[in-house]
């Protein structure tokens, strides 16, 4: 037998022996039972739905401000003598806040008082002068009559050839001079009313200047007229200031309010509630204390994102400061047949699941807004015609949730929708 044939026969024998050994091992091995397919059951948390009449809340972000911010300004040019308060300090009515140097104001008051005294004296002199002019006018008229008679006698004597033309001319000159004196004196008497009104007007002007100087002197001492806080201190002792320069900025603690943007989708609802006279309550937190507010009015201007709402603080204003940022929870009008659920129960914008016969069933809901219920967990108010009292609402958010998915309740929490 050729050498190549022997090699092929040997290889075939080895391959056949291997196949036979594999078959023997396969037949003698254990038999594996077929795997039985079982559907997975998801354990979920649920809530028992109990529709109720609840108020949705709207989360707003606002800033503390005040319409009664007082800017104490310098009444006149002068120097600051003392500053008795600091920024942020609480103040009470009658408390001394700042004083300007009185030496800058006393000379102005004295000068204004001197002007008043001078004009009063001039007015008195004018009245005395008028009385004297009236008496002098009567004498001047008598002298005029005497001059007229003297002129007449001089003419008579000249006609009788007993007097000269020079005597007549002298008599006429005396008469004309006296007539001018009467006219001048009469003018002084007639102008008395105008001069009197002029002096009285100047006196009133001087009195007004005196009042202003005295008022500036009073205002040079700044005292608190209300309970509040110092927002800013603009000057220090020794500063030279000009008229109308701001010295201090103050605000009353009971005049604080919060300005927050009301979103455009809710604007009509809130405006109608205000027009109807309904109280829209809001709450906020300052540390561990609750701040209570109510929507008082809206601003006179709006923009595409909404309109500013102005909230009056009813309780807790003493904990706030001007310019503080706040998160408000505004309670809207209550609505009936709504259920409060955790945010984890909502899929997308309008889908939830309830557990029916251990399987998920999708329902379409309308989200109405937040709900400030008991506890710290944020809640959402929803409403749906497919939602009934006693339904088991799934609150565990499943990434693969679909209608028909098998699930079982891990536990049942308190009834949903209860305050």
**Extents of the domains making up the chain:** 44-53+335-412, 58-66+256-331, 70-97+220-252, 106-217
Bridge partners of 249, per DSSP, are: 71, 232
Q: Which two tokens stand for residue 368?
A: 């109405």
What's the pLDDT score for residue 399?
Answer: 87
What's the pLDDT score for residue 373?
Answer: 67
What's the pLDDT score for residue 205?
Answer: 95
Dump the DSSP string for 130-172: HHHHHHHHHHHHHHHHHHHHHHHHHHHHHHTTSS-HHHHHHHH
φ, ψ at 135 (rounded to 5°): -65, -40
What's the pLDDT score for residue 256?
Answer: 92
**Gap between the Cα atoms of 320 and 308, Å rounded:** 20
Q: The dihedral of CA 97, 102, 108, 109: what is its sign? A: positive
Q: Provide CATH code, domain 70-97+220-252.
A: 2.40.50.100
Asked whether the domain spanning 70-97+220-252 has the same topology as the one spanning 44-53+335-412, the reply is no
Q: Determine the Cα angle at 368 with ends 365 and 369, to 5°.
A: 130
What's the pLDDT score for residue 338?
Answer: 92
What's the pLDDT score for residue 104?
Answer: 94
Domain spanning 44-53+335-412, CATH architecture: Beta Barrel (2.40)
From first to last of the 419 residues of the chain, give the pLDDT tens digit.
Answer: 456 666 667 777 777 777 767 677 666 656 566 555 677 888 888 889 999 998 888 889 999 999 999 999 999 999 999 999 999 899 999 999 999 999 999 999 999 999 999 999 999 999 999 899 888 888 988 888 888 888 888 888 888 877 788 888 888 888 888 889 889 888 988 889 899 999 999 999 999 999 999 999 999 999 999 999 999 999 999 999 999 999 999 999 889 999 999 988 888 889 999 999 988 999 998 888 899 999 999 998 888 888 999 999 999 888 888 888 999 999 888 888 899 999 889 998 899 999 998 889 999 999 888 887 666 677 899 999 888 898 999 988 888 889 988 888 886 554 555 55
Length of the chain counted residue by residue: 419
The H or E element containing residue 174 is helix 165-190
Domain spanning 58-66+256-331, CATH architecture: Beta Barrel (2.40)
> In terms of C-beta density within 10 A (0-12 exposed, 13-18 middle, 19 or more buried), how is residue 32 classed?
exposed
Per DSSP, 332 falls in state -
Q: Which two tokens stand for residue 41?
A: 């059951």
What's the pLDDT score for residue 33?
Answer: 60
What's the pLDDT score for residue 78?
Answer: 95
**Gap between the Cα atoms of 44 and 397, Å rounded:** 8
Q: How far is the first Cα of the chain from the last one, in angstroms, to the nearest whole number?
A: 102
On whether the CB atoms of residues 99 and 81 are closer than 8 A, the answer is yes
What's the pLDDT score for residue 369?
Answer: 84
What is the spatial order of strands in the sheet that 221-223 belongs to?
221-223, 96-100, 78-83, 240-241
In Å, how far are 6, 138, 184, 185 from 130, measured between CA atoms?
169, 13, 13, 10
What's the pLDDT score for residue 85?
Answer: 95
What's the pLDDT score for residue 15?
Answer: 73
**Gap between the Cα atoms of 37 and 33, Å rounded:** 13
**Gap between the Cα atoms of 177 and 134, Å rounded:** 19
């Amino acid at each position: 037998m050729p050498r190549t044939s022997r090699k092929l026969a040997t290889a075939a024998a080895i391959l056949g022996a291997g196949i036979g050994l594999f078959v023997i091992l396969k037949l003698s091995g254990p038999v594996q039972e077929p795997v039985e397919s079982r559907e997975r059951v998801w354990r979920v948390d649920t809530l028992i739905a109990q529709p109720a009449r609840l108020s949705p809340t709207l989360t707003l972000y606002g800033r503390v401000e005040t319409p009664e911010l007082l800017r104490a300004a310098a009444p006149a040019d002068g120097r600051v003598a003392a500053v008795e308060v600091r920024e942020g300090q609480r103040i009470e009515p009658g408390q001394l806040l700042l004083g300007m140097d009185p030496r800058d104001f006393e000379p102005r008051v004295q000068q204004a008082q001197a002007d008043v005294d001078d004009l009063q004296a001039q007015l008195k002199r004018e009245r005395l002068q008028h009385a004297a002019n009236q008496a002098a006018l009567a004498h001047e008229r008598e002298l005029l009559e005497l001059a007229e008679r003297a002129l007449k006698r001089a003419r008579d004597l000249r006609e009788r050839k007993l007097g000269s033309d020079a005597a007549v001319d002298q008599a006429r000159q005396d008469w004309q001079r006296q007539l001018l004196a009467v006219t001048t004196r009469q003018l002084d008497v007639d102008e008395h009313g105008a001069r009197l009104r002029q002096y009285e007007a100047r006196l009133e002007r001087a009195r007004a200047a005196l009042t202003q100087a005295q008022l500036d002197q009073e205002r040079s001492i700044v005292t608190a007229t209300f309970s509040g806080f110092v927002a800013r201190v603009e000057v220090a002792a020794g500063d030279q200031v000009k008229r109308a320069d701001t010295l201090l900025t103050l605000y009353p603690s009971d005049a604080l309010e919060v300005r927050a943007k009301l979103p455009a989708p809710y604007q009509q609802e809130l405006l109608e509630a205000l027009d109807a006279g309904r109280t829209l309550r809001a709450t906020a937190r300052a540390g561990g204390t609750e701040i209570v507010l109510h929507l008082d009015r809206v601003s006179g201007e709006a923009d595409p994102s909404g309109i500013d709402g102005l909230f009056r603080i009813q309780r807790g204003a003493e904990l706030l400061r001007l310019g503080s940022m706040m998160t408000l929870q505004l309670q809207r009008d209550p609505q009936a047949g709504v259920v409060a659920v955790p945010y984890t129960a909502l899929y997308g914008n309008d889908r939830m699941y309830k557990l029916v016969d251990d399987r998920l069933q999708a329902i379409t809901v309308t989200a109405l807004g937040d709900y400030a219920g008991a506890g710290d967990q944020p809640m959402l108010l929803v409403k749906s015609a497919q939602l009934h009292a006693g339904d088991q609402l799934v609150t565990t958010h499943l990434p693969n949730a679909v209608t028909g998915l098998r699930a079982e309740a891990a536990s049942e929490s308190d009834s949903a929708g209860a305050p």
